A and B are shown apart, each in its own frame.
Chain A
């Protein structure tokens, strides 16, 4: 039946992985998942854990939905997607609680809110429902990575300027504080995350002319 078997990492498949990193980044181009990007990016560590959690949830639920794609009646597909995502999120949440309790506490409700992350639903609807499992898996990993990269960049700047640390380690030496340097309190507040995301979008569009709309 399948006359031409596609290699696992054909250029088309690689594109599924790399495209969300830049040209169709879920946060900076599609502007999805902003809510959690504002909430969990005060420090790098929680942001990283969040990114990994989203990646797991997204990759697995993409694969599951892709496997079910021919059996799910279109009318109830949203409910089915939600059930799959929700069970994954509960699993991830339990694992975090068991092994990374501190960070789980910091992320608090936002792990649970992965269920409502529009990126995941969006990819299930747009991709997994009409593609094979392997491609769906790559698509899930790619989009989660695109999401995670932005999360970690934002968190890096917010933690560096807001708390003077990166990954919990002191980066800005004490002597700088003695000169009168102060941590920027605004960086800790959510509005600054929005501004940092905005600046990232600005830089990205300045470099990648494809993204600039013509009007």
Chain B
């Protein structure tokens, strides 16, 4: 460790003002603080000191995502073997998924971080760490057979249009990972929806057995084939077709536990999102006119990307509401809208993405009114006392 520190200290002057590589200063700074805790001290105003800087925060989120990634890799292989009617060991299944999913993760990180570094360099600010999480979230919300160049285009779009035009990490109004997914969803619908995109090998159609439909439970439910739905246990554990990271509610719950215990993800948002979904589900049950509306409200929580969205997407600290009461309203409306879009709008069987993006846009407004009402209440109290 000490030799590494010495090495960095020796390199440092070259990157500071006047040095040979002064232009690359922000890149150097990024790697330095990646290796060692930054010794920069704020010297103005009052600050709360915390060892937990942005990089560590982001790493915890990535750790929380690990169970879903691992499960997603195994499930990709599992679905592939199921579709081709072959037998395979657990390791073989995992290996197939790994070969498919690892490149997607690499592409997402390389493209996204490349653009981040380029912008940081060009604008002369520090490299922001936000993409560490976005880069992991983007692959998890995509189908397994998505072409790599599409991942690259979508990532570039999300980083440039979703984030950099607003001023980089911390300024974006939309969740970058969902921006990437929305981009792909509208730009290349044939790769992002339908029954054949969720299972590896199904689009090329080689060796797929006839009895395998590849339809996600959500698609089955939307089509009204309630009897085709997998059992609750299967949907909870996640051995169903779907986007890479969204199928296993169990793995997502592990991630949620990590986020809540470390205090990084907002439990308020997660819980109110779930409640919002349940309320809408119950409302739909009451006025049910077709089988999709009759699905028990709690089963909606297992279907599609609801759990993933509630835990990892809605809680994005930048694009979510900031005030305590605002978070509850924001989360509730996400759950509410997600189930509403999912069930009522036949064009978009997955409403979670659209609901979260919509509420991202409304988050500042919610905050504004929460703060206004606080001010009003306090003014009233002040008047009564006086």
Question: With A195-B161, A198-B165, A202-B165 in contact, is A182–B186 under 8 Å at CB?
Answer: no
Tell me which residues across on chain A come within 8 A of B189, comparing CB atoms. 185
- In the complex, per-residue mask of A68-83: 1 if CB is within 8 Å of any chain B CB, else 0: 0000000000000000
- The answer to whether A180 touches B186 (Cβ under 8 A) is no
* Interface residue? A44 (CB, 8 A): no
**CB-nearest residue of chain A to B147:** A180
Given B147, B149, B161, B187, which contacts A185 in the complex, CB threshold below 8 Å?
A: B187
* Interface residue? A130 (CB, 8 A): no
- The answer to whether B149 touches A180 (Cβ under 8 A) is yes
- The answer to whether B161 touches A182 (Cβ under 8 A) is no
Chain B contact residues: helix, strand, loop or mixed: helix
Which residues 36-80 of A have a CB within 8 angstroms of B? none
* Interface residue? B183 (CB, 8 A): yes
- In the complex, per-residue mask of B61-102: 1 if CB is within 8 Å of any chain A CB, else 0: 000000000000000000000000000000000000000000
Given B150, B186, B188, which contacts A189 in the complex, CB threshold below 8 Å?
A: B186
- The answer to whether B165 touches A185 (Cβ under 8 A) is no
Tell me which residues across on chain A come within 8 A of B191, comparing CB atoms. 182
Tell me which residues across on chain A come within 8 A of B147, comparing CB atoms. 180
Which residues 116-175 of B have a CB within 8 angstroms of A? 147, 149-150, 153, 161, 165
| A20 to B189 alpha-carbon distance, docked (Å) | 39
- The answer to whether A186 touches B187 (Cβ under 8 A) is yes
| A199 to B162 alpha-carbon distance, docked (Å) | 12
Query: How large, as a class, is the contact surface on chain B?
Result: 10 to 19
Tell me which residues across on chain B come within 8 A of A189, comparing CB atoms. 186
Query: How large, as a class, is the contact surface on chain A?
Result: 10 to 19
Tell me which residues across on chain A come within 8 A of B150, comparing CB atoms. 182
| A209 to B296 alpha-carbon distance, docked (Å) | 58
| A195 to B161 alpha-carbon distance, docked (Å) | 8
* Interface residue? A187 (CB, 8 A): yes
Tell me which residues across on chain A come within 8 A of B165, comparing CB atoms. 198, 202
Taking the nearest CB of chain A, how far is it from the CB of B213, in angstroms? 24
**CB-nearest residue of chain A to B188:** A182
**CB-nearest residue of chain A to B161:** A195
Tell me which residues across on chain A come within 8 A of B186, comparing CB atoms. 185-186, 189
Taking the nearest CB of chain A, how far is it from the CB of B59, in angstroms? 32
- In the complex, per-residue mask of B26-54: 1 if CB is within 8 Å of any chain A CB, else 0: 00000000000000000000000000000
* Interface residue? A184 (CB, 8 A): yes
| A215 to B150 alpha-carbon distance, docked (Å) | 38
Taking the nearest CB of chain B, how far is it from the CB of A193, in angstroms? 13
Taking the nearest CB of chain A, how far is it from the CB of B96, in angstroms? 20
Name the 3 nearest CB pairs between A and B, nearest first: A186-B187, A186-B186, A184-B187
Apart from A180-B147, A184-B153, 8 more pairs, CB < 8 Å = A182-B188, A182-B190, A184-B188, A185-B187, A185-B189, A186-B183, A189-B186, A195-B161
12 contacts between A and B (CB under 8 A): A180-B149, A181-B149, A184-B187, A185-B188, A185-B189, A186-B183, A186-B187, A187-B187, A189-B186, A195-B161, A199-B161, A202-B165
